[in-house]
Amino acid sequence: MRDNVMQFRDCITDKRDAVNFFRYAAGMNDAREIEGAAHISRGLVRLMMAVDDAYTQVSREVGLTAQQAQLLCAVQRPAAVGDVAEFLRCDRSNVSHLVDRAAGRGLIHRDVTQTDGRVRLVGLSPDGQQLVQRFIHTLGARLETLLADWPDQRRDDALETLHALADALENQQKGT
């Protein structure tokens, strides 16, 4: 699976090579024809791309970039910038820039902690809270429409499988 993910990352890293990207992405549609772990990894990459597209489209609909939507979702509970960076798997300086831009739009506020004046917590302003709720509602409505024909058992099974995969991948990253 790691080889397929690395191949995908290599493919999108070079944005100038769009032709190869689209050839590779088109190959994701054939994921069901492959056996074993490659079958699952291609399916996961295809799912990741589809989710990323939906996330980007919905964020644009509510007037955010995908990165701003991720930030607002991450700071629904106030957190230190370093913790937000770790959660988003981004460099702290990148998150600081995102926070600056979001604060400039009035979507985020910064507060100094009472225990350590060097640590600043970032959280949602009322406008940010309203916008993130709109984003979550819009994304949820889109998914609900897609899954409307799925029986409850299929939804439950899919959710259980997704959580199991996420847990396994997170545990692997932690080395447990």
Over residues 137-166, the pLDDT tens digits come to: 999 999 999 899 999 999 999 999 999 999
pLDDT of residue 162: 92
Over residues 47-60, the pLDDT tens digits come to: 999 999 999 999 99
pLDDT above 90 covers a percentage of the chain that reads 57
Looking at the structure, tell me whether residues 96 and 34 fall in a common domain: no
10 Å CB burial of residue 148 (0-12, 13-18, 19+) is exposed
Looking at the structure, tell me whether residues 124 and 93 fall in a common domain: yes
| 82 is a domain residue | yes
Looking at the structure, tell me whether residues 126 and 140 fall in a common domain: yes
Considering 15, 41, 57, which residue would you say is the last residue of a domain?
Answer: 57
| 87 is a domain residue | yes
Write the CATH number for 131: 1.10.10.10
Query: Per-residue confidence at 173, pLDDT binned at 50, 70, 90?
Result: confident
Contact criterion met (CB below 8 Å) for 107 and 125: yes
Looking at the structure, tell me whether residues 136 and 94 fall in a common domain: yes
Looking at the structure, tell me whether residues 35 and 67 fall in a common domain: no
Over residues 17-28, the pLDDT tens digits come to: 444 444 445 555
Looking at the structure, tell me whether residues 72 and 124 fall in a common domain: yes
Looking at the structure, tell me whether residues 42 and 71 fall in a common domain: no
pTM of the predicted model, to two decimals? 0.72
| 171 is a domain residue | no
Q: Using CA atoms, how far apart are residues 103 and 122, in angstroms rounded to an integer? A: 9
Contact criterion met (CB below 8 Å) for 44 and 52: no
Average pLDDT of the chain, as a whole number: 82
Over residues 60-107, the pLDDT tens digits come to: 999 999 999 999 999 999 999 999 999 999 999 999 999 999 999 999
Looking at the structure, tell me whether residues 104 and 89 fall in a common domain: yes
What is the three-state SS of 126-161?
Answer: HHHHHHHHHHHHHHHHHHHHHCCCCCHHHHHHHHHH
Looking at the structure, tell me whether residues 46 and 66 fall in a common domain: no
- Token pair, residue 141, equals 């409505």
- Regarding predicted confidence, which is higher, 7 or 76? 76
Query: Per-residue confidence at 41, pLDDT binned at 50, 70, 90?
Result: confident
What is the three-state SS of the chain?
Answer: CHHHHHHHHHHHHCCCCHHHHHHHHHHHHHHHHCCHHHHHHHHHHHHHHHHHHHHHHHHHHCCCCHHHHHHHHHCCCCEEHHHHHHHHCCCHHHHHHHHHHHHHCCCEEEEECCCCCCCEEEEECHHHHHHHHHHHHHHHHHHHHHCCCCCHHHHHHHHHHHHHHHHHHHHHHHCC
Residue numbers of the domain that contains 42: 1-57
- Regarding predicted confidence, which is higher, 112 or 97? 97
Q: Using CA atoms, how far apart are residues 107 and 75, in angstroms rounded to an integer? A: 11
Closest by CA to 128, choosing from 55, 65, 67, 75, is 75
Domain count, the chain: 2
How many C-beta atoms lie closer than 10 Å to residue 147's C-beta? 11
Looking at the structure, tell me whether residues 40 and 5 fall in a common domain: yes
